[in-house]
Amino acid sequence: MSALFEVDHLQKAFGGLNVTRDVSLALCKGDRVALIGPNGAGKTTFVNLVTGHLRPDSGQVLMGGEDISNFNPMKRVRAGLVRSFQVTRLFAEMTPEEHVALAILQRQGKSGRMAGSFQAMPDVMRETYEILETLNLTALGRVPVSEISYGQQRLLEIALALTLRPKVLLLDEPAAGVPHSDTFLIENALAQLPADLAVLMIEHDMDLVFRFAKRVIVLAAGEIIFDGLPVDATNDLRVREAYLGGYANGSAA
Amino acid sequence: MSAGASVTAMPAENRGWQRDLIGIAAILVAAIAGYFLFPNNLALLTRMIAIMLLVLSLDLVTGYCGVATLGHAALFGSGAYAAGIAAAHFGITEPLTMIAIGAVGGALAGLISGVVILRGHGLAQLVLSIAIIHLFHEAANKASEYTGGSDGLSGISPDPILGVFEFDLWGRTAYVFGIVLLLLVFILLRILVRSPFGMLCRGIRQDPVRVSAMGASVKLTLIKMYVISGLVAGVGGAFNAVSTQVVGLDSLSFTNSAEALVMLVLGGVGSLYGALIGTIAFVWIEDLVSAANPFHWLTIVGALLIAVVLFAPKGLYGTAATLVERYRRGGK
Ligand SMILES: Nc1ncnc2c1ncn2[C@@H]1O[C@H](COP(=O)(O)OP(=O)(O)O)[C@@H](O)[C@H]1O
Ligand SMILES: [Mg+2]
């Protein structure tokens, strides 16, 4: 099958630090890929480069064969490339209901309307509460985000990404900060993702990775050192070294 | 709070409209009270209305969108000059037409300001806004053939409104006209801030990165809001020109811009009521204190501002609203 999403020879350095080194990968419809690697490997930077939040030094990003390297973040979203953030980015004073409704209105091209209210639009309200329901957020629909727990904010973060109906979804550690008792909600949400959506998930929880991913990509010091089946990753010598090295550095720092 | 209760309770929409009706009634009552309590001071109240429109306009970009600006009088002054020049030089003296011309002038100034100011962020934004107001001021000063330069623009004599209501010496017509304009603008802005567009703007203030990650254009949205803000400030400026029959360079001044920001902070940023209350409080205190002691007027304003920022950081209205909300929740 031809690639839906392609990254070619992406490079990025911060000062002298090469954070992304010649990274190339491709995703097809329906892919479930986990991107793993030690802290500081450059995973978040990779997402920022791909979504246009950072500018690469060189390399290309393609969606459905079209070069989107010069698109700003907004245009990339409209091309179907949607992300979630490792550290939650939400509107503190707004409610989950408002968040999801705004995302729906944006998707429908109605977010520029200067009169009326989403609460008077039955289709928007219905979809809003359908989405909140899948993430168990219905009861919190009208509570300001600043008053809900971080774990629930993480769920809302995923809800927003889903609402935009992406073709390619990049999830940056969706379970980070979620209490262990609630990770099943995130897994449920992941299990309900449309089958033809391509998903790349950054995740540290290896149990989650094994349950979710059909393919694993390992990033270490900005470089892809493994791309293959999850079972093979655990046996790969370079992967083991990278993790050990990463932890050794981490404890020394 | 249970799920059922929060969803099946009276729709937030209805509650919002009820609050708006109360708000509109409050403005009307205050307007009528002002008319009868201060019959000899209608000129001051009328000036207050013009400034309210400026502060409302500022609230749109600063309170709702989070744009820092010290140059917002550029929009107000452009409206005032547009209406004034139309009347003094082109014989367009029909008041409603003058207001419309002022609105267009303000919108144009809003577009220019927005395009320039939004190129920067944070401190750079503030500096650009100061540059803008000085450039507008200087342009008006230099174009003295049209603007009267530092002498101001006079010779503005508007026709009776709708050919019926003549502008009288006591300023009664001007006052009522102002109240009608203010109510109209207020109602339209309530609709605007509640709309999807208004929600998008509030989102931009809280996290522009999230907004762009939703696929919305931060820049375009802000520029649209700047143009709308220009319409409102332009109406304010034009109304000032119509009611005072002169336009001075001070309408395009840094001081005017900075005072508008002070009024907004005083009343409460991000709420239309805050903008109105802040203006009333500031202009009223200014009038009281500057009459009693013209030398210490600024000292008192300074002290007042410090008190508000330290003890009521949400402004007079914002703090009152929080207290009421807390009382309600506690009372349940
Ligand atoms: N904006 C930035 N400026 C400078 N260095 C950065 C920036 N963003 C990330 N880095 C550095 O790049 C490296 C990779 O970071 P990141 O992509 O966040 O790693 P990961 O998500 O894999 O933990 C880290 O060493 C980090 O300090
Ligand atoms: Mg990261």
CATH (domain of A21): 3.40.50.300
Query: Between the CA atoms of B248, B251, B252 and B253, what dihedral angle is there, to the nearest 10 degrees?
Result: 100
Tell me, what's the pLDDT at B14?
Answer: 61
The CA–CA distances, whole Å, from B266 to B234, B261, B279, B282, B287 equal 23, 8, 8, 8, 16
Residue B324 lies in a domain: no
Q: Is the C-beta atom of A43 inside 6 A of ligand 1? A: yes
Distance CA B249, CA B154 (A): 12
Kindly state the DSSP code that residue A178 receives in the 8-state scheme.
-
Average pLDDT over residues B207-226: 94
- Percent of chain B scoring above 90 in pLDDT: 67
What is residue A95's three-state secondary structure?
Answer: coil
Note whether A77 contacts B214, CB cutoff 8 Å: yes
Average pLDDT over residues B15-42: 88
Q: Are A114 and B190 in contact (CB under 8 A)?
A: no
Q: Is the C-beta atom of A45 inside 6 A of ligand 1? A: yes
Average pLDDT over residues B171-179: 93
Residue A75 lies in a domain: yes
Mutate to test the interface with A, among B193, B199, B209 (most CBs of A within 10 A): B199
Residue B297 lies in a domain: no
Sheet with A66-67: strands ordered across? A17-27, A5-14, A58-63, A66-67
How far, in Å, from the CA of A87 to the mean position of ligand 2? 9
Backbone angles phi, psi at B279, to 5 degrees: -65, -45
Residue B102 lies in a domain: yes
Query: Between residues B324 and B110, which one has the greater pLDDT?
Result: B110
Nearest CA in chain B to A169: B213
Residue B267 lies in a domain: no
Nearest CA in chain B to A137: B3
Centre a 10 Å sphere on the Cβ of residue B41 and count the other Cβ atoms it contains.
13
Atom nearest to A37 CA in ligand 1: 22
Average pLDDT over residues B118-127: 92
Q: Are B205 and B66 in contact (CB under 8 A)?
A: yes
Average pLDDT over residues B242-264: 94
Domain ranges, residue B55: 16-252
pLDDT at B16 over 90: no
How far, in Å, from the CA of B218 to the mean position of ligand 1? 25
The distance of B280 to chain A (nearest Cα, Å) reads 27
Query: Between residues A100 and B150, which one has the greater pLDDT?
Result: A100
pLDDT at B301 over 80: no
Residue A192 lies in a domain: no
Tell me, what's the pLDDT at B225?
Answer: 97
Minimum-distance CB partner of A119 among B13, B202, B206? B13
Q: What is the pLDDT along chain A (253 residues), one digit of tens a residue?
A: 578 999 999 999 998 899 999 999 999 999 999 999 998 999 999 999 999 999 999 999 999 999 999 999 889 999 999 999 999 999 999 999 999 999 999 999 999 999 999 999 999 999 999 999 988 899 999 999 999 998 889 999 999 999 999 999 999 999 888 888 888 888 888 888 889 999 999 998 888 898 999 999 999 999 999 999 988 888 888 888 877 654 434 433 3
Distance CA B299, CA B50 (A): 25
Q: Are A212 and A184 in contact (CB under 8 A)?
A: no
Tell me, what's the pLDDT at A90?
Answer: 96
Average pLDDT over residues B75-79: 97
Q: Is the C-beta atom of A167 inside 6 A of ligand 1? A: no
Tell me, what's the pLDDT at B250?
Answer: 93
Give the confidence band of B13 by pLDDT, cuts at 50, 70, 90.
low
Based on the structure, what is the number of domains in chain A?
1
Residue B262 lies in a domain: no
Average pLDDT over residues B34-55: 93
Nearest CA in chain A to B205: A91
* Whole-number CA gyration radius for chain A: 19
Residue B217 lies in a domain: yes
Tell me, what's the pLDDT at A251?
Answer: 36
Query: A49 burial class (0-12, 13-18, 19+ CB within 10 angstroms)?
Result: buried
Which residues make beta-bridge pairs with A217? A35, A227
How far, in Å, from the CA of B7 to the mean position of ligand 1? 42
Q: Is the C-beta atom of A42 inside 6 A of ligand 1? A: yes
The distance of B25 to chain A (nearest Cα, Å) reads 22
Q: Is the C-beta atom of A76 inside 6 A of ligand 1? A: no
Tell me, what's the pLDDT at B12?
Answer: 54
- β-pairing, A66-67 vs A81-83, is unpaired
Residue B143 lies in a domain: yes
Mutate to test the interface with B, among A75, A88, A104, A114 (most CBs of B within 10 A): A114
Distance CA B214, CA B133 (A): 34
Tokens 């791909």 sit at which residue? A50
Q: Are A73 and A53 in contact (CB under 8 A)?
A: yes
Residue A151 lies in a domain: no
H-state helical runs in A192-236? 206-212, 230-235
pLDDT at B15 over 70: no
pLDDT at B108 over 70: yes
Half-sphere exposure of A81 (CA within 13 A, CB side): 28
Based on the structure, what is the number of domains in chain B?
1
Tell me, what's the pLDDT at B295?
Answer: 76
Distance CA A198, CA A4 (A): 8
How far, in Å, from the CA of A36 to the mean position of ligand 2? 10
Residue A23 lies in a domain: yes
Domain ranges, residue A18: 5-88+169-186+201-252
Q: A106 CB near a chain B CB, below 8 Å?
A: yes
- β-pairing, A58-63 vs A32-36, is unpaired
The CA–CA distances, whole Å, from B221 to A112, A154, A252, B180, B225 equal 8, 27, 48, 29, 6
Going by C-alpha positions, the residue among A149, A151, A140, A154 that lies closest to residue A98 is A140
Tell me, what's the pLDDT at A192?
Answer: 85
